[in-house]
Structure 1
Amino acid sequence: MRRFLSDPSQAHYRRAWLLLLLFTTVLLGIGIGLRDPWPADEPRFALNALEMLRTGQFWFPHRGGELYPDKPPVFMWASALSIWLTGSVRWGFLIPTTLAGIGTLLLTVDLCRRLYGRRIALMSGLALLSAFQFVLQAKTAQIDMMLTFCTTLATYGLLRHALLGPARRWWLVGWAAMGLGIITKGVGILPLTLLPAWLWMAYSGRSRGRIAPITLKAALQGVAVMVACIAAWAVPMIVMATWGDDPSLAAYRDNILFKQTGQRYADSWTHLEPWYYYLVSVLPWAWMPLVLAFPWALPAWWRRLRRSDPRILLPLSSVILIVTFFSLSPGKRGVYMLPTLPLLVLAMAPLLPGLVTRKGLQWLGFGLLALLGGLLLAAGILGAAGLPALTKVAERHAVSPWAWWIVIGAIAVGLLVILRPRRGLWALASWLVVFWVSWSTWGYALQDHARSPRDMMAQVRSITGADTWLAMPDFDEEFLLQSRQPSIQFGDRTPASAQFRRAFAWLQQDRSRWMFAMQRQAEDYDCIDRDQIHDLGIQNGDDWWLIPATAVDRCQGDANAAPLFVAPTTLPDHTGNAPRV
């Protein structure tokens, strides 16, 4: 790869591009089929996809028989398609984000090739692939990587028009991608943060013909295309919700259109963090190791901005505006920063050849690897030696990663010794490959039994019987996903106390029924006969009880305290793996 990076010939570029594509596919795809969906978000979206396939209701996502109004359905459609094609949740649920990650990288590489040439294009792909949050999210079945693909496609289209155009078709593709991003996760309009710097350069006289102007006609056409893409989903949904005979659909319509967009941003009720949360707690690790280059990148950016280079100003200003935009909202999550990574690489791309020659940056890469490898090696050795502070945590989560940590920590030390500080970045990059491959194989094998309740729900079935009805008050999605029998729940946003009152009433109607509940919630009810309880142990950090209907005879139930939702059957296949369709 180093030989190809230094050779700009077309033949070598094709081979290097294919090698990069193959390497990216293997790195992001390895581990598919080796684990189940893990909380917090993955089981929820897998449930959405499964219920679409089970019920045929694709326009209104459901979770456990209940409408799920928090997100538009595009990501669920992609998940349902991949699960249907593979015939298995375990094989299908990660495919959409893996493909979105590959697509995001290819778009970034191609745009850098057109802007800066072949060598820098390949380096930009490696830079994006080195970013910790990028690989992590490509291996996580959350909506944000698909959103990032949409925003990157929109950025690609807009910048093809702005910097390499005029290119009307790519301008419209960019707006269409924003529309698709909006019906994927609301904030698909993030590429509009390119426009302030674009307009300023185009109409201040600083661009000197290096950037295409935005005409009113082009802007109206772009908005029309974006609205048309949104309307393709929103109009049928609004029509069915408004004129249908199910009042819950109207509540879904209002929630998805208003509460989950404007209200979630301006008056968020969850993930509340201070304004500096991203700067202090997210970007230092999410942008790692790219942030190591900032001491040299910042003055280089400043020099290029003084020359009014739109190739730097547009993506860099977009990064700053996106970070500011999300920092102003009281609700914050680390994944919100993912769409900034391709933009950051675009802004850093022309600096990469010079950055990798900096001795100081090589030393920083060496130091970071020494820190990470040293911590993992020390923690692995101390854990294996029985240090109480570590073993208690391991016992609580039923994971003993000591051998894994010792091995990857020792590999880090070996790379440091072999490559020395003058090749610190290569040592760090090589170790990151080792880390992600081991994470997706050895790490999955160590963690899956602890993060997926597959075995516990099989135990529940063996105790209750395959056809016995099971109540799950205040349920977690991963348990409902792995349930091996008919299951019900009592409304995701219903207070837990109301759910238990309804559960007691439901159990008392048929003494063959059972309830699956967290110990810390169920033990608040002294009416439950403790002698009949099956203590199932710890799963996902909580203790769980299996309670027969005969154990709640003395409990006061209320059949009207909470709604009742029947979860469509998601029985697993005969291998005991994730549910098949």
Structure 2
Amino acid sequence: MKFFDREQGIGKDLALLGLVFGVLYFQFLGRLPLIDPDEGRYVEIPREMLERGDFITPTLNYVKYFEKPPLHYWLNAISLAVFGENEFAARFAGTLCGLATVLLTYYLGRKIYDRRAALISAGILGTAGGFLVLARINYTDMTLTFFLSAAFAFFMLASREGAEHRGRNYCLFYIFMALAVLAKGLIGIVLPGGVILAYLAFTKRWRLLREMRLGTGILVFLAVAAPWFVLVSLRNPEFPQFFFIHEHFQRFLTKVHHRYQPPWFFIPILAATLLPWSPFIPAALKKGWQEHKNGDALYLLLWAGVIFAFFSKSNSKLVPYILPVFPPLALLIGNWFREATSAAAVRRHGIAVGSLLLLLGAGAIGYPLVAPKPEVAVVDGAIVGGLFLVEGVVALWAGRTGNPFTLFASLGVAGYLFALAAPPVVYARMVDKSSVKTLSLALREKAGQDAKIACYMTYEQGVPFYTHRRAIVVGDRDELQFGSERGDNTGWYLDRDQFHRLWDSGDTVFATLRRRDLSTLQQSVRTPVRVVAVQGKEKLLVCNREVTGTVGALK
């Protein structure tokens, strides 16, 4: 407790937090192969940017790709240039944004609360299991989360009564909002705009519209965000319709991307990804509402609530979309811990959290033992389940003391240790199902420059990155549909019949495919299908020529 109450400069705390959580977030970051499809996609695009020397028009598998703006690609391109073309470089920028979001949460907590609340809030966000896992995967969403959170934070600091450095903070608000747009599109305007409008309506502080320096702010925003949109539109006249209409309005209002989930989808997702802190959300929200007249609590509630409602309403839902609600929730929970005075309430929460973690631990251990085809190995389930059990026991013990600091510190340390030990198990399981590194390295070794390489029925995003070669796509083009229809891509996008003729043409052809598609290929061609490499239980590399040495084993 004395450490949390000690007077200490913000810079020293940020350095300490950067060290403590930097170890957690960057440990063994490049040990495992890329997890497809996202990691392969979001590192191949910047690799092609570097190769082509074109940082305006993104390409994927060497065709135009306009689904996202370029900021995440640019950051990854810098990382590739500095660290080389490897898995660590692929994940570095996104992980750095995750760590920066933890530090930003501390900084905002220090400004609106005090040092104790700031450190607790940063500890909560930094040890939230789902946030850590998603920060260590190459997603655009963590980049968006940092820049969007920074925009929210600096508006909050600028708009407080008696705020210092008001002009500087408003300027930073516009800059970070522009960067959020460059990270993931119009969402960088829509979400801050929705939260601020709701905040003004609740507080009746419409005078902030004058204080916000809208004229200057718009110029600053456009100076940062507009150049790329202008340049890419001049070079690619088809960009505006695809990016703004198809990728924004149709994505939100329709099921065109086949990512529909029910409106309640993010409730269990949030509960799982914010463990071990999610059981404190109801109490933190209640306390925030009780204090909403002070403005800060109301702003944090709207920050979390508007974003949660927006994505819950959207017809396109993926787990990482929920990331921007983590910082305000961490601050609200941190404030609950700071001001908790009821020993009985602390004990209730300790019992609730401990019981939940014990239940999860028992489930993780028991599931592989009873499931007919468990997705988790017995050893992996025992490791993760055992860690949950330890956390549960710690929570029950700490809760019994009735001391909120003891409960936080115990859960924080247990959560930190869990985050050190559990992610390698989680990532290894994801890699086993999703990576194509083994197949790609076999391609690099065995496929000469005259050989053709293809992805049969499923485009494997990591193949071009690991091989530095363009792949023929057979069957559904999915997200490559738009780009494949621009320019001359003859011979690169084939239906099954065209590929079967290529297989029998006499050219040397290698193809990645899923096990379920092997029999279809074998029955459709005359030339024998030879297995060259196997990855996991589902992915194969095959060739229409005899190749020395098989990598892996066909089980």
Q: Indicate whether 1:188 and 2:185 are aligned.
A: no
Matched residue type, 2:199: W
Which residue, 448, 473, 482 being the options, matches 2:466?
482
Q: Is 1:523–2:519 an aligned residue pair?
A: yes
Q: Given the superposition, is the C-alpha separation of residues 333 and 127 from structure 1 closer, same or farther in structure 2, using an over 3 Å criterion? A: same
Label 1:416 to 1:440 Cα distance change in 2 as closer, same or farther (>3 A). closer
Deviations 1:196-254 (A, max 9, x none): 2432355369xxxxxx732077223323322332212111111222xxxxxxxx33443
Find 2:354's aligned residue among 366, 371, 377: 366
Amino acid in structure 2 at the alignment position of 1:278: F
**Amino acid of the residue matched to residue 330 of structure 2?**
V
Q: Does structure 1 residue 120 correspond to structure 2 residue 117?
A: yes
Aligned counterparts, 1:37-436, within 5 A: 37-163=34-160, 164-165=163-164, 167-186=166-185, 187-189=187-189, 190-200=191-201, 203=204, 213-215=208-210, 218-241=213-236, 250-269=237-256, 270-279=258-267, 281-305=268-292, 308-355=293-340, 358-379=346-367, 382=369, 389=372, 392-393=373-374, 401-414=377-390, 420-423=396-399, 426-436=409-419
- Matched-pair identity in %: 22
Cα distance in 2, alignment partners of residues 123 and 541 from structure 1:
43
Give the structure 2 partner of residue 535 of structure 1: 531
- How far did residue 272 of structure 1 move? 0.9
Structure 1 unaligned regions, length at least 5: 206-211, 242-249, 395-399, 551-575, 577-581
User: CA shift at 1:549, angstroms?
Assistant: 7.6
> Which region of structure 1 is more displaced relative to structure 2, 254-263 or 101-110?
254-263
**Structure 2 equivalent of residue 439 of structure 1:** 422
How far apart are the structure 1 equivalents of 2:299 and 2:230? 34
Contact 1:376/1:408 (8 A) holds in 2: yes
Residue 354 of structure 1 and its aligned partner are, at CA, apart by: 3.2
Counterpart of 2:21 in structure 1 is: 24
CA contact (8 A) 2:68 2:183 kept: yes
Change (3 A) 1:345 1:388: closer
Change (3 A) 1:321 1:407: closer
Instruction: Give the partner amino acid of 2:289.
Output: W
**Paired amino acid for 2:247:** Q
Partner deviation per Cα, 1:541-567 (whole Å, 9 max, x = no partner) = 5353514189xxxxxxxxxxxxxxxxx
What CA deviation, in whole Å up to 9, does each residue of 1:75-113 have, x standing for no partner? 011111101100132220111111111211222211111
Question: Measured at CA, do residues 504 and 252 of structure 1 come closer, stay the same or move farther in structure 2, by a change above 3 Å?
Answer: farther
Separation in structure 2 between the aligned mates of residue 196 and residue 106 of structure 1, nearest angstrom: 27
Structure 1 position 132, deviation (Å): 3.0
- What SS does the aligned partner of 1:188 have? helix
For 1:155 and 1:114, the matched residues in 2 are separated by 14
Report if aligned partners of 1:467, 1:485 keep a CA contact under 8 Å in 2. no
Where 2:512 maps in the other structure, the secondary structure is strand
Q: Is the 8 A contact 1:374 1:413 kept in 2?
A: yes
Unaligned regions of 5+ residues in structure 2, if any? 400-406, 486-491
Aligned-residue offset at 1:289: 3.3
For 1:488, give the aligned amino acid: I
Pick from 495, 499, 518: which aligns with 1:499? 495
Contact 1:128 1:341 in 2 (8 A): yes
Match in the other structure for 1:573: none
Aligned partners of 1:155 and 1:191 also within 8 Å: yes
3-state SS of paired residue (1:523) = helix
Tell me whether 55-64 or 188-197 shows the greater mean CA deviation: 188-197
User: How well do the aligned residues superpose, as a CA RMSD in angstroms?
Assistant: 3.2
Would the alpha carbon gap of residues 220 and 262 (structure 1) be closer, same or farther in structure 2, given more than 3 Å must change? farther
Distance 1:3-1:15 versus aligned 2 partners, 3 A rule: farther
CA distance in 2, matches of 1:521, 1:440: 32
Conserved 8 A contact 1:362-1:425: no
Tell me, in whole angstroms, the C-alpha distance in 2 between the residues paired with 1:295 and 1:448.
Answer: 35
